Amino acid sequence: MSEPISAEYARRIEELYGPLTQSLRKLIDVVIRSQAGDDDVTRAHGLIDQAAALLGSRLDDEPFGVRATTEGGILTWGNVAMGVRNAIAFPLQIEHDESGRASADLLLGAPYEGPPGHVHGGVCALILDHVLGATAHRPGRPAFTGTLNLRYMAPTRLGKLRAEAWIDSETESKTIAVGELWDADGVLTVHAEGVFIRPKAKT
């Protein structure tokens, strides 16, 4: 992990990039659903290239990774599921309760489509991998997926979703987690079980 980032600087960057990334999520969506005239599409393409040139004038060579703040916080700005600077991210905001249960509420639109009107099965897998994994992380000891078994019970309609996961059993190095995904009508659509491995903390 690189040098800690000042917590104040991190807050400023999040205030700058958070709303920009939210705008970019909207742009991803309208690119799919647009029925604009050709001239407007061509102009929009030019604006996208201009924005990329401005932001790309100074670039970090590396992906963002995981970085620490001076206040002991962890920044995962680039994470594909939860990154505040990653427009692919839903973003997933995980809530933890006292029992170790992890949950997340999501709203998925056109960009996450697989079968018509429904969430891609692989996106359901991404959500559940992340929420199950969240039960297994410990401070300074992130957990990695060992196995993940998914059972698709019903198609998952685009719209509001809820994911929950809990610990089935665990040892010092391993958590077995179980979780479920529900659609807006409260239908259980995907069931998941996974083994998550915690490498030993560096001493």
Q: Please give the torsion angle defined by the CA atoms of residues 67, 72, 138 and 103, in that order, rounded to the nearest 10 degrees.
A: -80
Indicate the helix (H) or strand (E) that contains 16.
Answer: helix 7-33
User: HSE of 18 in the Cβ direction (CA atoms, 13 Å)?
Assistant: 10
Judged by CB, which is closer to a second copy: 100, or 155?
Answer: 155
Judged by CB, which is closer to a second copy: 31, or 167?
Answer: 31
CB of 108 to a second copy, least distance (A): 10
How far separated are the first and last CA of the chain, in Å rounded? 14
CB of 199 to a second copy, least distance (A): 11
Judged by CB, which is closer to a second copy: 48, or 96?
Answer: 48
Question: Left (φ > 0), alpha (ψ -120 to 50) or beta: where does 99 sit?
Answer: alpha
CB of 99 to a second copy, least distance (A): 24
CA-CA distance, 115 to 77, in Å (whole number)?
A: 30
CB of 77 to a second copy, least distance (A): 7
Cis-peptide, bond into residue 142, ω within 30° of zero: no
Judged by CB, which is closer to a second copy: 99, or 110?
Answer: 110
Helix residue spans in 66-196 (DSSP H)? 121-134
Judged by CB, which is closer to a second copy: 151, or 171?
Answer: 151
CA-CA distance, 41 to 47, in Å (whole number)?
A: 10
CB of 101 to a second copy, least distance (A): 19
